[in-house]
Amino acid sequence: MSEYYITERLAERPDLLKYPPHSHAIESFKWGKPSGTSDLVLFPSRGPVLIAVVEAKRALADELGNRNREAHAQVVGQLLKYYGRARQLSVEGIQHLRRALDATERHRHRALSPKLILSGRLTEAQATARIEEGTALRAEQVALHVVVNATTEALTGRLLPICEVLARDHRLLINVWALGAGRHDLVPIWPAPVARALGRRRVKS
């Protein structure tokens, strides 16, 4: 199963990640230099989260296994890079992006950057200013998701402890999911389903 399949599935069904089904989903979202491209970015149509960054990892079992014991750090590095860029956006900037996407009368998009969303006539500098001016995003308004095709000892032993530290000590809203057996649903790995609400409250205390 390719990462493209995972991303395509989530773009079709944002509700699998607990967002409204008609939220705007952009596959291959282009942040620009030096942040690069995210597998999927969602702009939920309602709720406290204003932007969600999704990384799909088809071969995480191998990447985090004996062949590359430091790959979990690469996954975390990607997430932190995208998180840092997302936090530079403003509440008003996301509203600009959402209104422009609404005008397309569809909810699924591909290979877009803020400049392309807002207007091809804007310069890169003008588009950046448009999405950054205004009220700064808070940590709880930016969500990070890692979606894997299987759970492994490497996943639980290496990646999840880092996620726990990021959530507890830095208040990042981070989630790890695995595809369900039928490939039509997601199983929450971090936070664990039973401790999810309690964990969120502890993070904010």
Tens-place pLDDT, residues 74-93: 888 999 999 999 999 999 99
What pLDDT is stored for residue 63 in this prediction?
Answer: 47
For tokens 């310069």, name the residue. Answer: 123
What was the pLDDT predicted at 182?
A: 63
- Residue 53 confidence (pLDDT): 97
pLDDT for the residue 127: 94
Nearest 5°: the CA angle 19, 130, 41 is 25
pLDDT at 66: 47
Residues with pLDDT less than 50, the chain: 60-66, 194-205
pLDDT digits (tens, 9 = 90+) for 140-169: 999 999 998 776 666 667 888 899 999 999
Looking at 68-157, which runs of residues are DSSP E strands?
Answer: 108-110, 142-148
User: Strand pairing of 186-190 and 173-179?
Assistant: antiparallel
